[in-house]
């Protein structure tokens, strides 16, 4: 399962989402790490057992509208289990 969040979202803040996920107490796999598209940092991700949490840099909860290319790359590569990190 993947949950992605724009990192500037004032309605659904990333910090609150991170706390909610941490409260699940699922095992972390790896470190909080940057992901890139077109050689630019597009956000950060943290893998857990059963969940990938991903932020999209510089947008709110309308990430597909305001960061179209990175969000599409994120979802497409995640669905096809391609490495983008």
If you ran DSSP here, which 8-state letter would residue 1 be given? -
Over residues 50-78, mean pLDDT: 94
pLDDT by residue (tens digit) across 41-50? 999 999 999 9
In this prediction, residue 6 carries a pLDDT of: 94
In this prediction, residue 11 carries a pLDDT of: 87
Residue 85 has pLDDT above 70, yes or no: no
CATH code, domain carrying 53:
3.40.50.11320
Record the pTM: 0.89
- Residue 46 within a domain: yes
CB count within 10 Å of CB 79 equals 9
Total domains, the chain: 1
In this prediction, residue 66 carries a pLDDT of: 94
Structural tokens at position 73: 């790359």
**Nearest alpha carbon to residue 12 among 46, 63, 47, 52:** 63
Q: Which domain holds residue 51?
A: 2-79
- Which residue is listed with tokens 């599409």? 72
- Residue 85 within a domain: no
- Residue 70 within a domain: yes
Residues 3/62, Cβ–Cβ less than 8 Å: no
Structural tokens at position 24: 């699940």
């Amino acid at each position: 399962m993947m949950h992605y969040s724009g990192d500037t979202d004032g309605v659904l803040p990333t910090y609150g989402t991170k706390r909610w996920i941490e409260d699940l107490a699922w095992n972390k796999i790896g470190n909080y790490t940057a992901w890139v598209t077109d050689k630019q940092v597009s956000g950060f991700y943290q893998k857990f057992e059963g969940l990938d949490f991903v932020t999209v840099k510089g947008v709110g909860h309308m990430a597909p509208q305001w960061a179209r290319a990175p969000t599409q790359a994120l979802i497409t590569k995640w669905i096809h289990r391609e490495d983008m990190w």
